[in-house]
Homo-oligomer: A and B are copies of this chain.
């Protein structure tokens, strides 16, 4: 597929469209209009149509979009239509939470290996996976693993990234705080929930909201 220049913002929304579509499928809804989708996602219907138009457009005029088809197309674009095997490094509290996180599987991710440097944890099982020693990170590529997940203390983040890349990983999800440097063709996604929390107080009203509590607007 050759697409015309797709805005990063559009790519950022695709997973959210997919989430909405999965919800609609759960509800047994077969078809959806750009207006209904925009409503669910909180946005403009035109933007919904434009987002899909970058890939050629998936709808039928007069009908809307077939929910299942659209979900399939988005999965193809994002390459979630195949299983993406991942390796986790750092099996602390956070690592265990990630291993136990149910919805990753829904989006095609499967954590197939877990590494730690604590000798006491080696051989132990977490989330159905045997924990291996960090020194065993090598040839992840041969094991079909292209995604690395970093959940180590921040001092170890760079070393872990280097090890993962050396083992053949092509993309990284980093939960650790420290900064890391990687070759530019490797994509790193940083997840830090504190960054999201930190935006909240700025937007909170200074006076109570109870009075208005049941005048609802928009969905999230």
Residues of chain A whose beta carbon lies under 8 Å from any beta carbon of chain B = 11-12, 14-16, 18-19, 23, 40, 77-80, 84, 93-94, 96-98, 100-101, 103-104, 106-109, 141, 146-147, 162, 165-166, 168-171, 173-174, 177-205, 208-210, 212-220
Contacts and interface: CB of A to CB of B under 8 A. Distances in A.
Interface centre among A195, A209, A216 (most CB of B within 10 A): A209
B200 A185 contact: no
Contacts of A80: 198, 201
B189 A196 contact: yes
Given A180-B219, A198-B107, A210 B19 contact: no
A92 to B, nearest CB: 9
Given A182-B216, A200-B147, A212-B183, A195 B79 contact: no
A193 B149 CA distance: 12
B181 A219 contact: yes
